[in-house]
Structure 1
Amino acid sequence: MSSLRKKALIRLLLCAVVLIATIVFSVMLLSGAFDGDAEPASEPASTSDSVSEAPSKGTDAAPAEGDATVEGDSAAESVAEPTPEPTPEPTPVNFDGLSEQPSTVYAEGEQPNYTVTPDSNMNLRAGPGTDFDKVAQIPAGTAVTALGANADETWVVVQYEGQYGWLAKEYLNAA
């Protein structure tokens, strides 16, 4: 082979490589790979919590809107926005029959247990004070569970025989 033919073949080969590189660059540019939205493909998926695998060939799932993928690449990574977990709204507690609701409501499992003093019966009242109506009478020595309390925790809300009411904490013994 002559030296002139060798030079021409090398030039032709270089032109083919440049042409292929130009086509690849154009496809990547048109697909949005250089828009700055997508993370580099060389970065491992474990470095970001919001990176997920794109569906592989043969699946019916389509990439989510806004995901950057390269056509023809079945292992392309995409950036998915994390879905925030909804914060559960606390259900308002309403103790039926009370003139005044407690300012503190004890969570299940954190409710203190008391017993009524063994000396005498206690009046279950509609509010935290002796000026509120008497709802029921609790016998001496009866065990009760506090469901809530007033702001200074001198009175507690209990349930006795299906009836909610307030008891003065100073006349209760911790169980």
Structure 2
Amino acid sequence: MSELRKKAMTRLAICAVALVASIIFSVLLLTGTFDGKTDSGDAAPATSDTTSAAAGVNDPTADSFTAEATGDTAEPPAEEQPAEEQPAEPEPTPEPTPVPTFDGLSVQPTTYYNEGEQPSYTTPGDSGMNLRAGPGTDYDKVTSVPAGTGVTALGTNEDGSWVVVNYDGKYGWLKTEFLS
């Protein structure tokens, strides 16, 4: 037999032993016989080793947790029962975010911008713009916005052709095609 085949067979044998050990360990864990108890049913003796010190500690999340493990004959309190036995608490429903209203407007925007997502615009540098009570020239003029003034859009109409801004403490609509 070649040296390469011997190494391959050795590795294969080691893998087979590891697989069998994993299967046995899994079966012991699933059946609950691998819970730190000896054949007599007593808890395994504790040693000064830190890994075995936890063997005497009751784990309420373990599958084999029973009243017998704690020495109590009564059923454990609800907070110590495993998670799958406790009823799930319903998630609270979030409060709806109130839609802002802008005083003085004849028409409220259909789209509102969140703070931090509001686009900024500047009125044309050669002329001012009329701030209107609604998205159209047929609505009343609220005030004038001077040329070259920066404004922040708070909302928009359905097609985005007009935006709601706040200028000098007053809300109004500006036509986006004239803003830059």
> Which residue among 65, 69, 74 is the counterpart of 1:71?
74
Q: Where in structure 2 are there 5+ consecutive unaligned residues?
A: 1-60
TM-score, normalized by length of structure 1? 0.57
> Deviations for 1:87-142, whole angstroms, at most 9, x for unmatched residues?
22110210000000000000111000000010101000000000000000000000
How far apart, CA to CA, are the structure 1 residues paired with 2:64 and 2:76? 16
Structure 1: unaligned runs, 5 residues or longer? 1-40, 46-56, 58-69
**Whole-Å Cα distance in 1 between the matches of residues 127 and 158 of structure 2?**
26
Could you tell me which amino acid in structure 2 is paired with residue 147 of structure 1? Answer: L
Indicate whether 1:139 and 2:146 are aligned: yes
**Cα distance change of structure 1 residues 103 and 42 upon mapping to structure 2, 3 Å threshold:** same
C-alpha separation in 1, matches of 2:170 and 2:75 = 70
What CA RMSD, in Å, does the superposition of the two structures yield over aligned residues?
2.4
The reply on whether 1:98 has 2:105 as its aligned counterpart is yes
**Does 1:162 pair with 2:169?**
yes
SS at match of 2:144: strand
User: Which amino acid letter does the alignment assign opposite residue 163 of structure 1?
Assistant: K
* Residue in structure 2 matching 1:116, options 123, 132, 141: 123
Is structure 2 residue 153 aligned with structure 1 residue 153?
no
Change (3 A) 1:79 1:163: same
| Length-normalised TM-score, structure 2 | 0.56
Is 1:107 the counterpart of 2:114 in the alignment?
A: yes
Aligned residues: 110
1:43 aligns with 2:63: yes
Cα distance, 1:42 vs. partner?
A: 5.8
Assess, with a 3 A threshold, how the Cα gap between structure 1 residues 142 and 81 changes in structure 2: closer, same or farther: same
Write out the 4+ residue segments of structure 1 that deviate beyond 4 Å after TM superposition.
none
Overall identity of the aligned pairs, in %: 49
Structure whose residues are more often helix by fraction: 2
Q: For the structure 1 residues 99 and 44, does the alpha-carbon distance in structure 2 shift closer, same or farther, using more than 3 Å as the test?
A: farther
The structure showing larger relative contact order (alpha-carbon pairs under 8 Å, at least 6 residues apart) is 1
Distance in 2, Cα, partners of 1:97 & 1:110: 24
Structure 1 distance, partners of 2:134, 2:86, is: 56
3-state DSSP of counterpart to 1:114: strand
